[in-house]
Amino acid sequence: MYSADFLKKFAQLQQQQVNQAATAPTDSTVTAGESSDPVEPGVKMVGSRPSAYANAQPSPVQTTVYDPMTGKAYPNPGVATSEGVANFSYQIPSGMTVDWSYWDRFAQPEPTPVTATETVVADQTLPFNPPAPAPKPEPTPRPAPPVVEQAAAVVQPAPPVVHQRVQASAPPPPPPPPPVGIASRAEWENQGTYMHGAGHSGPNSGKSLKGDRNNDNYYANYVNSMNKANSSGQFDYAREINRAHSLKR
């Protein structure tokens, strides 16, 4: 282990050598390559001009340096000089604990923790209103067959025989079909399901509607749709509504 006096003297010698190399005088009397040089055409002259690095001044290495007296570390020689350290070392002094207190001024406070807030999303469920079926197009009337005029025969036809027609009573019209039954609330709770089948797919398709928070709206829409279908004579559509909800009526 080196003593503190030895380290201080060693640092002074290193600094003295650096200062001597930086302040060494340069010889400005040497001139070469001027027009007065006795150079024949086609002859290359070897001169005595100093190299490009002869007058270069050394610059301090930008790395961490240490104060051999206190053991305090600095980011680079410029910072150490600005802190009043004249003799610094590029190597950690042997047996000395490094003091990193200079970096304490750059310490940042702990970030404030962010409080997570829970966003409540409103219910996005829409009431079920099935669209009314499109009206069926009326059939295009067929054109009347052309009337073919027959040429008058030379012989007059015999007088037509008059047959006595018996007026038959027309059969009574068939009674209108009964309306499709509407499931009661109890039947709806027991066997009513979400829409399923062709055109109705999803994660809840075919599951029971019992216990659903929108069950009241679903049942009210079901009754409204069935009444409209029965009143307009669309019994097939009403039966399709029952079938889609798994209502056996």
User: Which residue, 47, 70, 102, sits at the end of a domain?
Assistant: 102
Tell me what pLDDT residue 165 has: 66
Measure the CA–CA gap between 169 and 23, rounded to whole angstroms.
Answer: 141
Domain-embedded: residue 172: no
Tell me what pLDDT residue 241 has: 82
Q: Are residues 97 and 193 in the same domain?
A: no
Domain-embedded: residue 110: no
Q: Which residues contact 124 (CB under 8 A, 6 or more apart)?
A: none
Domain containing 85: what range?
1-16+58-102
Give Cα separations from 66 to 13, 59, 90, 124 (angstroms).
16, 18, 6, 68
Domain-embedded: residue 27: no
Give Cα separations from 116 to 18, 143, 213 (angstroms).
59, 77, 29
Tell me what pLDDT residue 224 has: 92
Tell me what pLDDT residue 61 has: 80
Measure the CA–CA gap between 52 and 26, rounded to whole angstroms.
Answer: 12
User: Which residue, 102, 118, 136, sits at the end of a domain?
Assistant: 102
Number of domains in the chain: 2
Q: Provide the residue-wise pLDDT of the chain in tens; the chain has 249 residues.
A: 567 787 788 888 888 888 777 776 655 554 544 445 555 666 665 666 666 666 677 777 888 999 988 888 998 998 889 888 888 888 887 888 888 888 888 888 888 888 888 888 888 888 888 788 888 888 888 777 776 665 544 566 777 776 666 666 778 888 877 888 888 877 877 776 766 655 566 666 667 777 777 778 888 888 898 899 888 888 888 888 878 887 776
Measure the CA–CA gap between 53 and 43, rounded to whole angstroms.
Answer: 27
Domain-embedded: residue 2: yes
Measure the CA–CA gap between 90 and 110, rounded to whole angstroms.
Answer: 33
